[in-house]
Amino acid sequence: MTEQVFELTGFQRDLLTVIAGLDQPSGQEVKEEMEKQHDDINHGRLYPNLDTLVEEGYVEKGQLDRRTNYYEVSDQGEQALLNRRQWANSIVPELSSNS
């Protein structure tokens, strides 16, 4: 079955990408990294979207301590990111840094 990363919102795909690039980040670390590309992100936007990624199986959530959760991309999430990358590469010609 092809992972349906295309059904995620752009924000959720960005979250998935950020989580994949960090080592078991906390929600706060994800927020800080996301804010490098997005305007200020409030908890009311961040955590429901993280929860959706967990519920859909793209991300796994664990507990660092009593107050802090961490997130990591699941096998399904990794496959979805790979599928997305392959799709993008198939429709966008190679970009050259010499352009």
Q: Tell me the pLDDT tens digit for each residue of 6-22.
A: 689 999 999 999 999 99
Q: Domain range holding 67?
A: 5-82
pLDDT at 4 (0 to 100): 64
For the chain, what is the domain count?
A: 1
In-domain check, residue 23 = yes
CATH number at residue 28: 1.10.10.10
- pLDDT, one tens digit per residue, over 51-93 is 999 999 999 999 989 999 999 999 999 999 998 888 888 888 6
In-domain check, residue 56 = yes
In-domain check, residue 91 = no
pLDDT at 96 (0 to 100): 53
What's the whole-model pTM score?
0.84
In-domain check, residue 70 = yes
CA distances from 97 to 24, 85, 87, 93, 94 (A): 32, 19, 21, 13, 10
In-domain check, residue 95 = no
In-domain check, residue 74 = yes
pLDDT at 95 > cutoff 70: no
CA distances from 48 to 1, 5, 74, 99 (A): 26, 17, 18, 40
